[in-house]
Amino acid sequence: MRSPALLLLAAVCLAAPLSAATPAPAPMTANPLLTESSLPYHLPPFDQIKDEHYAPAFAATMATQLQEVAAIANNPAPATFANTVVALDRTGLLLSRVSALFFNLTGAHTNPALDQIEEAIAPQLAAHTDAILLNSALFARIQGLYAQRDTLGLDPESKWLLERYHQDFVRGGANLGEAGKTRLKALNAEIASTQTTFTQNVQKEKNADALIVATRAELAGLSDSEIASAAAAAQAAGQPGKFALSLLNTSGQPLLSSLQNRAVRTRLMQVSQARGSHGGPHDNRAVVSRLARLRAERAVLLGYDHHAAYQLEDQTAHHVDTVNRLLAQLATPAVANAKREAANMQQLIDRDHGGFQVGAGDWSFYSEKVRQALYAFDETQLKPYFELNHVLLDGVFYAATQLYGITFKERHDLPVYQPDVRVFEVFNADGSPLALFLVDYYARPSKRGGAWMNEYVAQSTLLGTRPVIANHLNIPKPPAGEPTLLTYDEVRTAFHEFGHALHGMFSNVTYPRFSGTNVPRDFVEFPSQVNEMWAVWPAVLKHYARHYQTGAAMPLALLEKMQAAERFNQGHDTTELVAANILDQAWHQLKPAQVPDDVAGFEAAALQRAGVDFAPVPPRYRSTYFSHSFSGDYSAGYYSYFWSEVLDADTVEWFKAHGGLTRANGDRFRATLLSRGGSKDAMQLFRDFTGGEPDIKPLIKRRGLDRPPAALEYDG
């Protein structure tokens, strides 16, 4: 989940000073952000950087980039690829590093000072990007080269770079008149500010809205470790003697699968779904409507029907009809299977004389019971075999070594921004250095929800840089002295995010514009989803799935039960994702005058029209905490996970057909796709690897949507 690598993204309008609330600048000579890091791989000197360094660093590096851009635009020599396009790709290098560092930390380890700076800087960054993309003299040089692109003798990557920059300028408003450009600048600034407000509201509400439970008895079903963590969270929140159930940024919450008390389950789900919509300082309803309206107005100004059309033009799907068709293909069988899954649960509730209809808060709890009844399998049986360090070293890293020959060495001599962060140096099979990899797996109040990859330093042969990549998860940290035992979903997420990391680490491109995961948004999840397959590959699973106390391998019978249950609950899982996608597209396929103020009413109508308004399965994200959609990167693009999964499922079948976990397969995947970044059309990269076109059938089969789920046979 990364924004495009266009280096212009980080710039700022110097005419708009930081707010008075921003910390006072440090002396410029003492600012470690204003010189290239001397650490290995140019790792940021986390131990030297202070909050007050960011504001002057942004100002200074922005000024430098504007000077660099002005020199290109006003160059009296005729435009050439070298003095215009390559020169532009070289601009703002320190600014890019400052921006990457700052925004990585506001996601991974923020504080009130950084939040203040982010609020001030976001509209200024947007304004500066406009100052470059709307520079008429610069665009004229690029436009002239673009018209001659077939006669310049450029190699394929260089020609693609010219074409991509030309598209960036056109999509950035370079062809607008002066009045249009003025309005576009105002829209971009307000969109950036509003996205920041949304993001910070989600973060603050997540921390503020833990469910407080009065007694330990109400937490029946939770482990001693989970109860201890809840007690500690309540103590930290100023409610000693009580228990605080913290929230993840999804509608469903992991603890719902274990809580035996239905009243507590119901309350937890209600609190989760109400985030950002119940009044108070973090209410996001007006923010959602305003942001949707601003995005729609910008799209119309640029000549598009709506924001979704604007976004999709630059993606591999290209058209809203393609996305709508994909979601419709999944919605009908997903909801049908979810209803059958609900019927299985209702049988258990009725058998126990529960006297209620299965609700959203009951789903996780009763689905586990159904899983046990159908497969004699309880997912909690897996956790003792998924100890964090074994999963990372003997699973995630081991699979990468077997597939690509790379090795890992932990570094304890390099600074980090938080004590739980670990640093590994990564080496190629021949022993040559490849990258630095930062691991940040534990949840904390200063960290946003979810899981993601980012880069601190991008690979580029033009600049001579190797990548510095980070993975972030939100695994609850156990009390001191206790092991970190993962759910299978957390294990799969670790493999998924490492797939993104490999995409960044294996990058072997000339231009920083194309480095690593700087590919279309609906392609970026594809390699990471492919990497999930190794989590359950027999040779890999056998290597890391060992009991944390005895070291015994996971029993074969348990493994077989887990594999048999792989398609279990896919009606629910697919429906909640389709529903979230429907909301994302519904908001962003509106013209400005169509955007409503009634967020809840709009959601209900959109879900009903799409046939996914099944109350026991709410959308994975409601609009008011849908960060993918309203924080920026994935607006009108949440479908990317499904789109990428189509490519992923096809690719997994290719791996299986060609021998699976072999160096030959890994080297092919690295050479034809992972190393190419955005230096070539994304779908052509897919074809280069698989040799064919994508097919949705493997995805339908994988999710079990090609057949009804197993029925629970109960005589009553």
Paired tokens of 247: 């929230």
Give the chain's mean pLDDT: 91
Q: Is residue 557 one of the residues assigned to a domain?
A: no
In a domain, 397, yes or no: no
Q: Do 29 and 88 belong to one domain?
A: yes
Is there a single domain that holds both residue 49 and residue 146? yes
pLDDT, position 12: 23
Amino acid identity at 708: P
Distance (Å, whole) CA 635 – CA 299: 13
Nearest residue to 41 via CA among 464, 359, 494: 464
Does 36 participate in catalysis according to the annotation? Answer: no
CA–CA distance from 251 to each of 256, 337, 579, 587, 623 (Å)? Answer: 11, 20, 12, 19, 11
Is the per-residue pLDDT at 608 higher than 80? yes
Same domain as 126, residue 30: yes
Domain match, 87 and 224 both: no
Specify the pLDDT at position 362.
97
Q: What is the mean pLDDT of residues 252-263?
A: 94
Phi-psi region of 438 (alpha: psi -120 to 50; beta: other; left: phi over 0): beta
- What gap in Å lies between CA 473 and CA 500, rounded to an integer? 13
Contacts of 593 (CB under 8 A, 6+ apart): none
Q: How many domains is the chain partitioned into structurally?
A: 2
Q: Is the pLDDT of residue 308 over 60?
A: yes
My answer on whether 22 and 121 are in the same domain is: yes
pLDDT, tens digit, 9 for 90 and up, residues 497-535: 999 999 999 999 999 999 999 999 899 999 999 999 999
* pLDDT at 565 (0 to 100): 78
Strand partners, 212: 244
* Residue at 51 is within a domain: yes
Residue 11 pLDDT greater than 60, yes or no: no
Q: How confident is the model at residue 322 (pLDDT cuts 50, 70, 90)?
A: very high
Q: Are residues 213 and 161 in the same domain?
A: no
**Cβ partners under 8 Å of residue 329, min gap 6:** 696, 700
| pLDDT, tens digit (0-9, with 9 covering 90-100), for 460-483 | 999 999 999 999 999 999 989 999
144 shares its domain with 239:
no
**Per-residue model confidence as pLDDT tens digits over 354-383:** 999 999 999 999 998 998 888 887 778 899
Spatial distance between the Cα atoms of 150 and 161, rounded to a whole number of angstroms: 13
pLDDT one-digit tens code per residue, 390-421: 999 999 999 999 999 999 999 999 999 999 99
Q: Are residues 147 and 101 in the same domain?
A: yes
Write out pLDDT tens, residues 648-691.
999 999 999 999 999 999 999 999 999 999 999 999 999 999 99
Rg, Å, the chain Cα set: 25
Q: Do residues 162 and 217 share a domain?
A: no
SS3 441: strand
3-state secondary structure (DSSP) of residue 406: coil
In a domain, 221, yes or no: yes
In a domain, 97, yes or no: yes
How much is the pLDDT for 425? Answer: 98
Question: Domain containing 27 — which CATH number?
Answer: 1.10.1370.40
**What 3-state DSSP class applies to 244?**
strand
- Residues 266, 161, single domain; the answer is no
Residue type for 333, please? P
Query: What is the residue range of 46's domain?
Result: 7-133+135-171
Q: What percent of the chain has pLDDT over 90?
A: 82
Rounded to 5°, the CA angle 346-351-356 comes to 50
Sequence-ordered alpha helix ranges (H) in 258-319: 262-274, 285-301, 307-313
Q: Which of 52, 226, 497, 525 is catalytic?
A: 497
Q: Are residues 125 and 249 in the same domain?
A: no
In a domain, 369, yes or no: no
Domain-terminating residue out of 249, 274, 299 = 274
Domain boundary among 115, 146, 171: 171
pLDDT band at residue 243 under the 50/70/90 scheme:
very high
Tell whether 82 is covered by a domain: yes
Kindly write down the DSSP assignment for every residue of 592-636, as one continuous string: GGG--S-HHHHHHHHHHHHT---TTS--SS-GGG-HHHHSSTTTT
Is 322 part of any domain?
A: no
Instruction: Pick the last residue of a domain from 274, 291, 326.
Output: 274
Residue with tokens 């921390």: 207
Which pLDDT belongs to residue 713?
Answer: 62
Q: Which strand (E) or helix (H) includes residue 661?
A: none
Same domain, 17 and 153: yes
User: What is the mean predicted confidence (pLDDT) over 241-262?
Assistant: 92
